[in-house]
Chains A and B, each alone.
Chain A
Amino acid sequence: MGGKNSVGFLILIIGIILIPFMVTNDYYLGVLIFTAFNCLACIGLCLLMGYAGQISIGHGAFIAIGAYTSGILTAKFAWSPWLAMFCGILIVIVIAFCLGIPALRLKGHYLAMATLGFASIVHIVAVAAVDLTGGPSGLVNIPRLDFFGYVLSSDKQYFYFSWSVVALGVYIAFNLINSRVGRGLQAIHGSEDAASSLGINITSYKVQVFILSAVFASVSGSLYAYYMNYIDPGPFDVSHSILLVTMVAVGGLHNIWGALIGAVFLSLLPEFLSFLSDYLQVLGIAYQPDYDTLVYGFILLIIMLFLPEGLFKGFGNITQFVRSIFKKFSKRASDRVK
C-alpha cells in the first residue's frame, strides 16, 4: 500500500472503531451494515471494471448464490454458517471460472452480455426452484453468525464484523493492485496488444480478477443472509446488479476509494431522502416518495455531466473550481475598490 492509501486505510479503521461509540441508534447502524455489504461487492466490481476494464452486469447473481448457499445449508441442513459461507465461495469460484473462460477470451464487452444473461438465469432459478430456494415465498430461519457459540446478536457486533470484512477486502484489493498482477492488469486496461507483447497472459489475468470479484460478491451475499435471517429472490434481480455498477461508476472507476465512496453515497441516499421528506413535512411542504426517482435521476445527471470521473476525483476538481471562483470574486472586489 502506498503512502496516501495507507493514510486512507488508517482513517477507515479508525472510523470503523469510533462510529459505534457515536452512533448508538440501531437504525443508523443497520443502514451502515447494509452499506458494508454494498461496499464489499463494489470493491470486487471496481477491481474488475477499473483495473481489468471489464463490466459485469451480473454481480447480483453472485450475491444471490452466496446468500442462497448460506441460507439453504444453514436453514435446511443445519450446517455451520462459516462452512456454508465457504461452500458458497467455492461454488462461485467454479461458476465464475466457467463463465469467465469463454467470455474473457474474446475482446470487447462479451462478459457484460454473459453476466447479464447469467443474472437472469439465477433469478429465475431462485424463483422457480421452490423446493430448494423456497421460491418467491423465501427462505426463513437463517441463523445469525457466531464465533464458537458467541452469537453476533446486536447490530453493533454485526457492524464491527461486517466492516472488518470490508477493511480486509480493501487491504486485499490494494495488495493485489500493487503486485505484479495489478500492474499487469493496468497494462491490459491501457492496451491489450501492448500488454500481450510484454508477455502478460491477458485471459488468465482477467479470469483471475473476475473470480476474485465474484468471491467478494458471494461473501457479501452470505453476510446479508445471516443479517436478515430471511431471503427471497427480490433483492437479487438484475436491477440490483445495475445499481452496483452505478455505485462504482458514481464513485469513480479507477480507484478503490472511489468505489467505496460511491457505495456509501448511493446506499445512504434513500435514507437521506426519507429524512428530507420528514423535514419538508414539518415545514408544511408535501413531499411524496414518488419524487425520489426524480431526485436520483437529477443527482446522477449532475454527476455524469460535471464529475464524469466520479465523486472521488470530482471532489478534488470541485475544490479547485470553488477556489478559482473565490479568487475571481476577490479580484473583482479589489478592482472595484481601486
Chain B
Amino acid sequence: MKKRILILSMAVTLLFAFSTPSLYAQKKAGLKDYDVGCVFAKTGKASWLGEPEWNTAEMIAKEINAAGGINGHKLVLHLEDTGGENTRAVNAVKKLINNDKVCTIVGPSRSGTSMAVIPVVQAAKIPLVSCAGAAVIVTPVQERKWVFKVPQRDSDCVKRIYDHMASKGITKIGIISGTTGFGAAGRTQLKDIAVEYKLEIVADETYSPADTDMTAQLLKIKNAGAQALVNWSIVPAQSIVPQNMKQLKLAIPLYQSHGFGNVKYAAAAGEAGNGIIFPGGRLLAADTVPDTNPQKKVLVDYKAAYEKTYNDTVSTFGGHAYDSLWIVINALKKVGDDPATLRDEIEKAEFVGTAGIFKMSPADHCGLGKDAFEMLTVQDGKFVVLKD
C-alpha cells in the first residue's frame, strides 16, 4: 500500500517537473514569440461581451499560427478573465505586464474595467486597445497616450439616431437608459447633442440591469407626449422595453443604441422587437450589406469563420476583439514587439475592420467616424439594413 502511494506520488512529481521545462525548450528554437495579452470578461455579469471576444481572439491566433505566425514569429496569446470586476482586471493586467512580459494588451470588455486599468498601463507604458465603448476611455487624448479603443463612438451613434429623427420630422423625444457605464455615458451624450438638433427631451428615465418591468417609466414617457423613444443600454434588460411598449400599446418609433448589437437581444424581444431602428456595425447585417462596400469581404469572412468554429451567431462584441487584435497584429508585422514603437505604429493604423474603416491619429485614438454606423432594423428576429 505504502509503496504504491510512493510510486504514484513520484510519478506525479516527475510529470510536473518535466512538463514546464519542455515548454521553455520549445520557445528557444526559432524566432522569439510575440506575446500579446488579452483581458476579457469571460465570466460574470458581462460575459455576453467577453465570451465572443475570447473566442474570436483564440480563433485568430490559431489561424495566424497555422499560417506560419507573424513574419515567422509565433503569436502567443495570454488570455485572462476579469469576471467584469475592476480589481481582477487590474490584477490581470499587472500579471500580463510583469509575468508574461506582453508587448501589448487587447481588452478589457467593459468601460468600467477599462477605466480602472488605464492608470496601470499608462505607468507601465504598454499599449492597450480596449474593446469597450465609452468615449472617456480615449479622451482627453493627451492623458491617454497608451490607450486606444475600437468600438464606434457613442456620440456618433446619437448623431445617426438624431439625423434619422430629423428626416422623419420628430421634435419631442423620450429617453430611457440602463444604469451601467455604457448607459450613463449614452444618456449624457443624448442630452448634450439634443441641443444641437433642437430636439426636446420630454422624459428622461432609467432602469437598473436587474429590472424586469419598465411599465412605470414607459407610462411617464407616454404621458409626456414623446413622439419617439430612445432606449440606450447594453444589458439584456433592454429587450423588455419593446415588450412593455407593446403591452401599453405605445406605438411610437423605438430607437436603440449600438448596444443592441446582439441578435439574441432581438430574439428576446420577440414579435415586439420588429421595427426597432438602431445604428449598428455592418457586421450584424453582413448579408444585406451591398457588395460595393469595402467592408463586405471582412464582414462575410469573419462571420462565416466564427459561426463555423463556434456554432453560434456572430455579435458586434466579437467583432471588437477581431478589430483590436488585427490592428495589433498589423502593427507587429511592421515594427516588431517593442511596446513604444508598437504604440506609435498603432497610432498610425489604417484598417478595414468589422466596426468600420479605422484611421487612427495622434488626436483620435478611436479612428472611426459617423459613417461606421449603418441604420439597421429588426425583421422577424433578424437584423437587416434599413432602407429609408
Contact = CB atoms under 8 A, between A and B. Distances in A.
B118 interface: yes
A291 B375 CA distance: 39
Given A135-B179, A136-B112, A289-B81, A228 B86 contact: yes
Interface of B: 2, 19-20, 23, 42-43, 80-81, 83-88, 90-92, 94-95, 97-99, 111-112, 115-116, 118-119, 134, 136, 179-185, 206, 208
Nearest to B80: A274
B184 A27 contact: no
Interface string A283-321: 100001110110000000000000000000000000000
B178 to A, nearest CB: 9
A265 interface: no
A28 B136 CA distance: 29
A121 interface: no
Given A270-B88, A282-B20, A282-B23, A140 B180 contact: no
A289 B42 contact: yes
Given A30-B94, A292-B43, A137 B181 contact: yes
Contacts of B119: 228-230
Interface in A232-287: 232, 234-235, 270-271, 274, 279, 282-283
A172 interface: no
B6 to A, nearest CB: 13
7 contacts: A136-B183, A137-B134, A138-B112, A232-B116, A270-B88, A289-B43, A292-B81
Contacts of A292: 43, 81
Interface in A103-156: 124, 127-128, 130, 135-138, 140
A102 B13 CA distance: 59
B97 A138 contact: no
B65 to A, nearest CB: 15
Interface in A41-72: none
A329 B179 contact: no
A26 interface: yes
Contacts of A30: 90-91, 94
Contact of A293 (B23, B43, B88, B181): B43
B112 A232 contact: yes
A136 B80 contact: no
Given A30-B91, A138-B115, A282-B19, A232 B80 contact: no
Contacts of A90: none
Contacts of B94: 26-27, 30-31
A235 B81 CA distance: 16
A337 interface: no
Contacts of A31: 91, 94
B86 A235 contact: yes
Contact of A333 (B2, B43, B112, B118): B2
Nearest to B47: A290
Most chain A beta-carbon contacts within 10 A, residue among B20, B83, B86, B185: B86
Contacts of A271: 91, 95
Q: Which of A26, A30, A234, A292 has the most CB of B within 10 A?
A: A234
A163 interface: no
B53 to A, nearest CB: 13
Contacts of B2: 329, 333
Q: Lowest 5 A-B CB distances belong to which pairs?
A: A289-B81, A27-B94, A27-B98, A136-B184, A136-B181
Given A25-B99, A270-B83, A290-B43, 6 more contacts: A127-B208, A136-B180, A137-B111, A228-B116, A232-B86, A292-B43
A216 interface: no
A49 B287 CA distance: 60
B90 A228 contact: yes
B87 A230 contact: no
A290 B208 CA distance: 25
Contacts of B80: 274
A137 B185 contact: yes
A138 B111 CA distance: 10
A273 B324 CA distance: 27
A135 to B, nearest CB: 5
A230 B184 contact: no
A159 interface: no
B43 to A, nearest CB: 5
Given A230-B116, A232-B115, A289-B81, A135 B95 contact: no
A121 to B, nearest CB: 13
Given A228-B116, A232-B86, A27 B181 contact: no
Nearest to B81: A289
A283 B15 CA distance: 9
Nearest to A280: B19
A234 B115 contact: no
Contacts of B23: 282
A136 B179 contact: yes
B184 A130 contact: yes
Contacts of A230: 86, 115-116, 118-119
A303 to B, nearest CB: 21
A234 B112 contact: yes
B42 A290 contact: yes
A333 B2 CA distance: 9
A34 interface: yes
Contacts of B208: 124, 127
Nearest to B95: A27
A26 B86 contact: no
Contacts of B185: 137
A292 B82 CA distance: 12
Contacts of A274: 80-81, 92, 95
